[in-house]
Amino acid sequence: DFLTALKEIIPAFGASTDDLKRCRLNGMIYCGERHKHIYQRAMLHVEQVKVSKGSPLLTCLLEGPKGSGKTAIAATVGIDSDFPFVKIVSAESMLGLSESSKCARIVKVFEDAYKSQLSIIVLDDIERLLEYFPIGPRFSNLISQTLLVLLKKHPPEGKNMLVIGTTSEFDFLDSAGICHAFSVTYHVPPLAKEDATKVLEHLNVFIKEDVDAAAEALQGLTLKQLYLVVEMAAQGSTGGSSEAIYSGQQKIDIDHFYDILGDVVPIRR
Amino acid sequence: DFLTALKEIIPAFGASTDDLKRCRLNGMIYCGERHKHIYQRAMLHVEQVKVSKGSPLLTCLLEGPKGSGKTAIAATVGIDSDFPFVKIVSAESMLGLSESSKCARIVKVFEDAYKSQLSIIVLDDIERLLEYFPIGPRFSNLISQTLLVLLKKHPPEGKNMLVIGTTSEFDFLDSAGICHAFSVTYHVPPLAKEDATKVLEHLNVFIKEDVDAAAEALQGLTLKQLYLVVEMAAQGSTGGSSEAIYSGQQKIDIDHFYDILGDVVPIRR
Amino acid sequence: DFLTALKEIIPAFGASTDDLKRCRLNGMIYCGERHKHIYQRAMLHVEQVKVSKGSPLLTCLLEGPKGSGKTAIAATVGIDSDFPFVKIVSAESMLGLSESSKCARIVKVFEDAYKSQLSIIVLDDIERLLEYFPIGPRFSNLISQTLLVLLKKHPPEGKNMLVIGTTSEFDFLDSAGICHAFSVTYHVPPLAKEDATKVLEHLNVFIKEDVDAAAEALQGLTLKQLYLVVEMAAQGSTGGSSEAIYSGQQKIDIDHFYDILGDVVPIRR
Amino acid sequence: DFLTALKEIIPAFGASTDDLKRCRLNGMIYCGERHKHIYQRAMLHVEQVKVSKGSPLLTCLLEGPKGSGKTAIAATVGIDSDFPFVKIVSAESMLGLSESSKCARIVKVFEDAYKSQLSIIVLDDIERLLEYFPIGPRFSNLISQTLLVLLKKHPPEGKNMLVIGTTSEFDFLDSAGICHAFSVTYHVPPLAKEDATKVLEHLNVFIKEDVDAAAEALQGLTLKQLYLVVEMAAQGSTGGSSEAIYSGQQKIDIDHFYDILGDVVPIRR
Amino acid sequence: DFLTALKEIIPAFGASTDDLKRCRLNGMIYCGERHKHIYQRAMLHVEQVKVSKGSPLLTCLLEGPKGSGKTAIAATVGIDSDFPFVKIVSAESMLGLSESSKCARIVKVFEDAYKSQLSIIVLDDIERLLEYFPIGPRFSNLISQTLLVLLKKHPPEGKNMLVIGTTSEFDFLDSAGICHAFSVTYHVPPLAKEDATKVLEHLNVFIKEDVDAAAEALQGLTLKQLYLVVEMAAQGSTGGSSEAIYSGQQKIDIDHFYDILGDVVPIRR
Amino acid sequence: DFLTALKEIIPAFGASTDDLKRCRLNGMIYCGERHKHIYQRAMLHVEQVKVSKGSPLLTCLLEGPKGSGKTAIAATVGIDSDFPFVKIVSAESMLGLSESSKCARIVKVFEDAYKSQLSIIVLDDIERLLEYFPIGPRFSNLISQTLLVLLKKHPPEGKNMLVIGTTSEFDFLDSAGICHAFSVTYHVPPLAKEDATKVLEHLNVFIKEDVDAAAEALQGLTLKQLYLVVEMAAQGSTGGSSEAIYSGQQKIDIDHFYDILGDVVPIRR
Ligand SMILES: Nc1ncnc2c1ncn2[C@@H]1O[C@H](COP(=O)(O)OP(=O)(O)OP(=O)(O)O)[C@@H](O)[C@H]1O
Ligand SMILES: Nc1ncnc2c1ncn2[C@@H]1O[C@H](COP(=O)(O)OP(=O)(O)OP(=O)(O)O)[C@@H](O)[C@H]1O
Ligand SMILES: Nc1ncnc2c1ncn2[C@@H]1O[C@H](COP(=O)(O)OP(=O)(O)OP(=O)(O)O)[C@@H](O)[C@H]1O
Ligand SMILES: Nc1ncnc2c1ncn2[C@@H]1O[C@H](COP(=O)(O)OP(=O)(O)OP(=O)(O)O)[C@@H](O)[C@H]1O
Ligand SMILES: Nc1ncnc2c1ncn2[C@@H]1O[C@H](COP(=O)(O)OP(=O)(O)OP(=O)(O)O)[C@@H](O)[C@H]1O
Ligand SMILES: Nc1ncnc2c1ncn2[C@@H]1O[C@H](COP(=O)(O)OP(=O)(O)OP(=O)(O)O)[C@@H](O)[C@H]1O
Ligand SMILES: [Mg+2]
Ligand SMILES: [Mg+2]
Ligand SMILES: [Mg+2]
Ligand SMILES: [Mg+2]
Ligand SMILES: [Mg+2]
Ligand SMILES: [Mg+2]
């Protein structure tokens, strides 16, 4: 069940998933139907990969605004799959490497995975892996070509693989034909008002009467932004009140909350 | 005969064709007149190469959307030719090589082929060989020049060669004058409704009453996409039903099929 | 209290802050409500970082015209934080280094900071760190990617970090998506007339009757420009009078002041 | 006489011309007045070079669509000149070389030629020598500059040289000012209907009644394309009939011919 | 006093100024109020640097058409300052150096200057230092970044510095934000008619009646152009008369002067 | 006197001028007033350089269509100057050198010249020295910067220098600001009808009645083109008649002349 999966983080029977677990800094809570649907479909892909003969390689892409929960979902699928090989490929583990060293690293992860009967590879923040910069635009064609080949290359006979990509630069990847290189694409949306309400109820930092107004103000922001604003607001206008708020002794002052939101709002545009 | 050729994979009397056989993961079935025509014409080119004096080098290009069957057709022609030298050149076997090493490899394949009286070289996914990226666009001019020269260079006296290229980036290759470097170009289309019907009948995973509706929904997709959607749908909405479906004990639920198709549809655009 | 903080530079109990202190060549004086607000918010972030669990990395950007006081504010926050690790990363300390050496240096600063439970890193003049040049535009994508990764990478468990960036090229950073990589952005404005009045009163170099006219003429300029014009005007039209003026024995001649301002005005456009 | 020259390939008294002879895979036949005129003018240039004092270097360019006969004409002039030094410079003999190695090779050919009192150098497919790619466009400026200098540099005193260039990318060479670097330019056209008729009569593969219709269908194509289509059609729709047709026992079926032409037609566009 | 300064070149008590003196090939004469004003302001900056505490680095830019006198003014200020360290940085002393070696040289000059309590650095022809070429445009971003950092970096405590830049490519520097990196910018204009009159009277090469007409014809040209045209005209139409003219025995023929000017005029456009 | 200078090539008392003499393959004849005027002015510059004190470096540019006579004029001035150092810098002597080696060579020539009291350097075909290619456009900024510096750098005290540049790419050089780097620019035009008449009369290869018509047909072409067409026409339509024509025994057939011109005309466009 999805919700259970979200609440208690089950120890994986498969690969070591420490890296993956650190991708869910704020845990996993229910935050709307779309997120739930994506998780469920991804778990169906996990099932498909287990039994497929005609498609030894299945690839899916999670795209959506920054902080919408893409990496956390991908990590959760990897953890819940119990596959013997689950690995996340991210730019932060390749800081300072040259383009060709990055390629070599990525290829190595795939080659290691090919040795496992079932494997999942998470390509996190593909735009960052590609060294994408919107002005120009700039990007590494070397890494792009490597990914495009790996997203098509069949694993050896008898080995099946699921690749989950994440990106917040859908337009670039789309116009570059990289989306097309994935079998399926899922859009991970920002929060709708009812989603924000659910999350605020879960956090329990506002008095009941303020939840609706706060959720209204937060709609259109992403999960990560919500957590940030709440944490800033919890400080109080003179600092130091956050402990009292998280322990439930105090509630966030809605006006101070608006004030903070006003500063953070530009990130919404 | 084409259909026989498609059904039973005849052991080649010529070159070892293991690489080529792995290009036909879903086997070869009848899927419409155009595919058949292209296969037949390509086999005529095989005949022509055997006897030609004035054209020691014959080159043809298969172009069409991703998954339409280009590589599978090229591989089948290679296998059925029984030529002593048949080789596929693809980006996946050159992962991580520099531009100039790739050139050297490609040239080496041609030089090896020149030693054989009759040879076929498949240049698979030319855009990938060229390291093409649509933004910019980027591509390797070094490899482009190498291919342009090889597509024109006569084999040594008494040696004849057929080159079959495949690409899903016709517009790029055309505007780059690479199509023009091939003697003939064939368009490998996506599935028309009647083609999809044939394939679904062959797969036998829907109840008879649903085949027409399913084929209608699949039209315009390619062979590879059809196989993917069917396999995903065969999982059932709660997973695990695919074995029952492929063994014929159960049929795919058409509503679940539509549901899955809805997720995959963006790949159609 | 903000004003006290500005007037007397309190010895830091935390990291050695010599570098930071040299960023406030003209000291810190009261120069309007916006500057005060930014300082206060930044100090709230300092508090938040001390206690946060869900956001081990907090990032904020100060943007505004050249000389508006960004670096001085960032430095003051660093000094006032009393964090054990406070470091400013600026282009002037990396003069003559290659792109990759600069990356290595920047990464090193972050890695050093990760060892500290609480740390502040000031990324001063981000456009200069990125080797930005508006014609082209040119910039280092290598350094950009490094910063983009570092602005997202979580410090190790139990370590919290505040990153303060400054820039006078907001439009570039914004269109490049770098602003978006910061949690919050604050605009540091040029001087409004009442701000200029406050500063001139503090400097006490005009006779009372001239302060209003001088402030009017200076409005829209930045703090740094104000200091420059005043210093030039203090020379007098024949030179040598500045000592008398700063010691209070003499006042600046308003006409000479206008004259000087006329020469400097182009920098306003 | 031109026609004689075309029919029997006279052994050259001058340089070894094996390379050149291999450029005329389909022999030389009469195919229209323009081709004849170009050959004659080029032979006049050969005469001029023999006696010139004021122009020790004469350069002419043959431009026209792919397969129109440029290389074959240039080769024939080289062969018929009986000059002691005749050499063809083509990209295929420099496969895999770096830009600078190519330059060195080209310069070497010129230097060798300078030692000969009379010499002819054929620069075949100049666009390929320049590594020209229309997208971008890309090309080697290093090689371009080398050619531009060599096309202007006087041979040493007492040595005279004729350079014949060929290209199917006239527009590029023209806009690049390379055409201008040649003293004279000749356009080698595709086949007019009456030219095609002459060639088909010579080949004698159609019944008399079909020649006119076939020629009509072929007009606007080039010599090389005509040979290709005829050879493909000679296979017959089921393969294997070409021997009978070339030996004159059978004629090409005009409907099958149209069918084949339909496939090849895109190359006309 | 400005005029005295211009007439007799006073031996510097400060740094060796041989390099600077060679920048005033035609000496320094009175040529209009604007030139005088710029000189005076620059000397005020010299005074300011001597006493400043809040602005240890003062930077000013002289911009104007080629030959208007920028370098000569900058050199004169350097000479007249009597500072212990005065140095001109120009492209001609770095001919053949790589971009990075040029950077190293420039940085070295600044580091040497930082050791001196008072220093002046003339950055002559900044566009040339930046390897600026208007087509593209091309320029060295490496050197640009180096200059941008150096124009902002504070000298060590207790050391004060004046940087004078010159450029005839104001538009480029302005759009590149380099002008903005200077505290003040002065425009050095071409000659107005009355300026030209003054200079011609000083040169005394025309009969009194022609001075006005000649000045009229020269207006809008720069100092350097005036000197060139006068020197060419002094040759006389058959050559050899210049000695007689400079010694005052003869005067320039106004018609020959117009004739010469007509040839040189294009440089005015 | 100009005409004498043109007819008999006087042995130079100065530098060895073999290189220069080889630039006048067709000798020097009278071909119109403009050419004569340019030669005379250039010789005045030679005089000026001999005596100048205020302008130790004089630079002039000859620009005009290909073959108009620029190099021949520059060479003649160099020869007639009798300066101890006269050198031509051309791309053909630097074939195969890298950009930086070319720079080094050019700088070396100037440094050698600086040792001579009087020197002339001819920068022939500046666009070729700059490796200019109109598509892009491409060019060497390294060499451009080197030339721009050398065209401004004063020779050491007591040494005077004349630099003569030639170019057929005036528009490029102008928009690149290189023309502006020369003191004076002279346009070397194609032939006007009366100029062509003079030259044809001198050559004496037409019967008197044809000279006018031939000159009319040649107008707008350049000297070099005239020589080429005449030489080609002298061959006669069947070849071999040129000796008879140059020895005066025969005249060129005007119709054959028109015929040839028709082929060459495209070079006029
Ligand atoms: N149901 C949920 N799905 C996803 N994330 C959740 C959910 N519930 C809580 N979270 C929390 O929300 C945050 C989502 O952030 P995450 O890093 O996954 O976003 P992202 O889309 O990958 O952002 P970015 O584009 O910046 O990489 C995580 O800290 C995660 O712990
Ligand atoms: N008649 C057929 N022709 C071609 N392919 C067929 C046919 N019947 C079944 N197939 C199967 O359809 C699939 C076609 O995929 P294939 O890889 O050839 O497509 P493609 O056009 O090369 O795609 P891509 O552009 O992605 O390389 C193969 O798995 C093949 O086994
Ligand atoms: N309240 C204040 N806030 C900021 N700066 C102040 C204040 N009071 C005085 N100052 C002085 O104003 C100057 C501001 O310059 P600062 O270098 O901080 O500007 P900046 O915005 O970083 O400029 P740049 O964009 O050029 O880097 C400093 O010299 C500082 O000492
Ligand atoms: N009169 C002729 N002139 C030229 N070629 C002829 C003639 N008669 C027959 N041919 C044949 O026609 C073919 C012309 O092809 P050729 O390679 O010369 O064309 P091309 O213009 O150089 O083509 P490309 O642009 O592809 O290099 C040759 O095989 C040649 O043998
Ligand atoms: N009052 C004056 N101010 C400046 N230059 C003068 C003055 N009087 C005479 N000159 C002479 O005028 C010439 C000015 O040339 P200078 O090289 O300074 O011009 P520039 O603006 O630097 O030109 P460029 O842009 O080409 O570098 C010098 O030779 C100098 O000796
Ligand atoms: N009066 C003249 N002036 C110049 N050239 C002349 C004159 N009389 C005859 N000639 C001849 O005309 C030819 C001019 O060619 P030249 O190489 O000088 O032209 P160019 O303008 O330098 O051409 P390009 O732009 O191709 O370098 C030379 O061969 C020269 O001998
Ligand atoms: Mg993420
Ligand atoms: Mg394929
Ligand atoms: Mg700052
Ligand atoms: Mg050819
Ligand atoms: Mg100057
Ligand atoms: Mg020339």
> Token digits for C144?
């950009």
What's the pLDDT at A12?
40
Q: What is the CA(F55)–ligand 5 centre distance, in A? A: 12
Predicted confidence band at C266 (pLDDT cuts at 50, 70, 90)? low
Pocket around ligand 4: residues whose beta carbon is below 6 Å from it? D 6, 24-29, 31, 35, 66-73, 125, 166, 168, 223-224
Which of E47, E106, E108, E172 is most worth mutating to test chain C (most C CB atoms within 10 A of its CB)? E47
Rounded-to-integer distance, Cα C220 and Cα C216, Å: 9
Rounded-to-integer distance, Cα B204 and Cα B199, Å: 9
Mean pLDDT by groups of 10 residues along chain D of 269 residues: 44 69 93 96 95 91 97 97 96 95 98 97 98 97 98 95 98 96 96 97 95 96 95 90 90 94 64
Q: Answer yes or no: are the C-beta atoms of C88 and C75 closer than 8 Å.
A: yes
What does DSSP assign to residue F11?
P
What's the pLDDT at B53?
82
Mean pLDDT by groups of 10 residues along chain B of 269 residues: 44 69 93 96 95 91 97 97 96 95 98 97 98 97 98 95 98 96 96 97 95 96 95 90 90 94 64
> Token digits for B57?
């080098």
Give the residues of chain A that fall short of pLDDT 50: 1-12, 267-269
What's the pLDDT at D62?
98
Q: Is A235 on the interface with C (CB under 8 A)?
A: yes
Q: What is the pLDDT of residues C20-50, one digit of tens each?
A: 998 999 999 999 999 999 999 999 999 999 9
Which chain B residues touch A104 with a CB distance below 8 Å?
Answer: 96
Pocket around ligand 2: residues whose beta carbon is below 6 Å from it? B 6, 24-29, 31, 35, 66-73, 125, 166, 168, 223-224
Helix axis angle for A223-234 and C33-51, nearest 10°, is 100
Top mutation candidate among A2, A6, A24, A132 for ligand 1, by most atoms within 8 Å of CB: A24
**ipTM, 2 dp:** 0.93
Q: Could you give the dihedral angle defined by the CA atoms of residues B237, B241, B242 and B243, in that order, rounded to the nearest 10 degrees?
A: 180
Q: What is the pLDDT of residues F171-215, one digit of tens each?
A: 999 999 999 999 999 999 999 999 999 999 999 999 999 999 999
- Residue F7 confidence (pLDDT) above 50: no
CB contact under 8 A, C240 and E47: yes
Least confident interval from A198-202, B16-20, C82-86, F99-103 = B16-20
CA-based nearest residue to D9, from D79, D67, D87 = D79
What's the pLDDT at E265?
64
Least confident interval from A6-15, D59-68, E177-186, F234-243 = A6-15
Q: Where are the beta strands (DSSP E) in chain A?
A: 57-63, 85-89, 118-123, 160-167, 184-187
Please enumerate, as own/partner, the contacts of D3-10 that have beta carbons within 8 Å and a separation of 24 or more: D3/D30, D5/D39, D5/D76, D5/D80, D6/D30, D6/D76, D9/D79, D10/D79, D10/D80
> Token digits for B92?
């996946």
Which position among F17, F70, F210, F253 bears the catalytic label? F70
> Token digits for C218?
């200076």
Q: 3-state DSSP call for residue C248? A: coil
pLDDT, averaged across chain F: 91
Q: CA angle, D38 as apex, D37 and D40 as ends, to 5°?
A: 65
Closest atom, ligand 6, to C-alpha of F26: 31
Q: What is the pLDDT of residues B198-238, one digit of tens each?
A: 999 999 999 999 999 999 999 999 999 999 999 999 999 88
First to last CA, chain E: 36
Verify whether residue D7 is a known catalytic residue: no
Predicted confidence band at C6 (pLDDT cuts at 50, 70, 90)? very low
Q: Is F68 in the pocket of ligand 6 (CB under 6 A)?
A: yes
Which residue do the tokens 């944490």 mark? Answer: A231
Please enumerate, as own/partner, the contacts of A44-48 that have beta carbons within 8 Å and a separation of 24 or more: A44/B232, A44/B235, A44/B239, A45/A162, A45/A184, A45/B232, A46/A77, A46/A80, A46/A81, A46/A83, A46/A120, A46/A162, A47/B235, A47/B239, A47/B240, A48/B231, A48/B232, A48/B235, A48/B242
Rounded-to-integer distance, Cα B115 and Cα E13, Å: 84
What's the pLDDT at E6?
43
Rounded-to-integer distance, Cα F11 and Cα A21, Å: 90
Closest atom, ligand 5, to C-alpha of E64: 21
Q: What is the pLDDT of residues C216-257, one digit of tens each?
A: 999 999 999 999 999 999 999 888 888 999 899 999 999 999
- Residue E86 confidence (pLDDT) above 70: yes
Report the percentage of chain D scoring pLDDT > 70: 93
Q: 3-state DSSP call for residue B102? A: helix
What's the pLDDT at F266?
58
Residue A215, C-beta contacts closer than 8 angstroms, at least 6 positions apart: A193, A194, A196, A197, A200
Catalytic (active-site) positions of C: 70-71, 124-125, 152, 224
Q: Is C133 on the interface with E (CB under 8 A)?
A: yes
Q: What is the CA(F201)–ligand 7 centre distance, in A? A: 84
Verify whether residue A255 is a known catalytic residue: no
> Token digits for A149?
């080949």
E5 versus E79: the higher-pLDDT residue is E79
Q: Is A266 on the interface with C (CB under 8 A)?
A: yes
